[in-house]
Amino acid sequence: MTKKLNTSVCIIGAGPCGLLLSQLLANAGIESIVIDRKDRAYIESRIRAGVLEQGTVAALEEAGVADRLHREGLPHTGFDLAFDGDRHRIDILALTGKNVTVYGQTEVTKDLFDRRFAEGQKFHFNVEDVRLSDLKSDTSTVGFQQDGATVEITCDYIAGCDGFRGVSRQSIPSDVLKTFERVYPFGWLGIMVEKPPVSHELIYANHANGFALASMRSETRSRYYLQCDLDDHVDNWSDEAFWEELALRLGPEAAANLQTGPSFEKSIAPLRSFVAEPMRYGQLFLAGDAAHIVPPTGAKGLNLAVADIRVLARGLVEHYRSGNDQHIDTYSETVLRRVWKVERFSWQLSTLMHQFPENSPFEKRMQRAEFDYLSQSEAASKSIAENYVGLPLE
């Protein structure tokens, strides 16, 4: 027997992207149902980035979930770029009048879950065999299996917030969907440690041995990364080996302040740039990682997803309030213009700060020349700062 449900918007994916959309819709009195193939505990445990643009903070304020962020988040007015031990600070506040806030994506997810559960959001967790149908009709259907039963949700619109490997993008016909991809020939080995960060701001470092990043989640919890081979494994890296290599890549100035200790999370993530076009097909809208991936250099993944949601939520709210479909009809074109600009910045910073195995001595000298130019040119530093704090929605 099939259980049949109905709602205005079915949101596939209960990560921060889908949760934020459900909250913004709920604030406007628009009903939604959220489904996910995992459960809340699993989703909240995922370790992700933690640098929030002002636009992301504004969206969380609009959603009503920014109280803890403002209490615990760390405002940052700049960050350092380092090259073979030389450091240059990008003063984002002086260059743009804006700052960013360090607050973990895990915490954003928890805050959104707490608010959505308190308000009675309808969730379906641990779903399987999700299938989308009637995407070009006035009403669409999302079907799935849950606890051995078949469930079908009829809805006006579907928001595909289910990540890179989700079903949403795969539901767009291959003769319609175009994808663009750059897979990088290395990964990031990341660890978490209960120690104060080596610096009160982030340090992005290019060393002959590879890239390193000194980041944090709080004043007592640090997040560090090392560039590594794609076929590397965490078992090859003891904590002692990681700390030794990190100190080398960050340089003696930073290493003097490095507090080491046992890691409580260690993982390797590959890097890629990816864009899918269009981001709308019929009644289906793609958002976040379902439509685009950026390398983590520059911390744009969550911020880009939130920008998608801000545009999509505005369009859906206007549709239900006044019948104005201008913003949902132009959703794909609007967000893709910004997506490609953010992809360019993440690609540019990744190209500058990593060691590429195929790079010739000429290309390595070009990296150094680019760093020197940034260090000496306020205009070049301002360009980096403008992208780092976040581009306008349109």
Q: Which residues are catalytic?
A: 76, 204, 296, 300, 388
Cα(119)–Cα(210) distance, integer angstroms:
47
If we measure between CA atoms, which residue out of 188, 179, 194, 236 comes closest to residue 213?
A: 188
Buried b (16+ CB within 10 A) or exposed e, 27-36: eeebbbbbbb
CA 201: distance to chain centroid?
19
* Cα–Cα distance, 366 to 259 (Å, whole number): 33
Q: Tokens 């340090």, residue?
A: 203
Do the bridges between strand 74-76 and strand 51-52 make them parallel or antiparallel, or are there none, so unpaired? unpaired
Rounded to the nearest 5 percent, the helix, strand and coil shares of the chain are: 40, 30, 30
Tell me the three state secondary structure of residue 83: strand
Report CA Rg, the chain. 21
The angle at the Cα of 311, spanning 310 to 316, to the nearest 5 degrees, equals: 100
Positive or negative torsion for Cα 100, 101, 103, 105: negative
- Token digits of residue 111: 């805050």
Residue 102 phi/psi, 5-degree rounding, is -90, 115
**Length of the chain, in residues:** 394
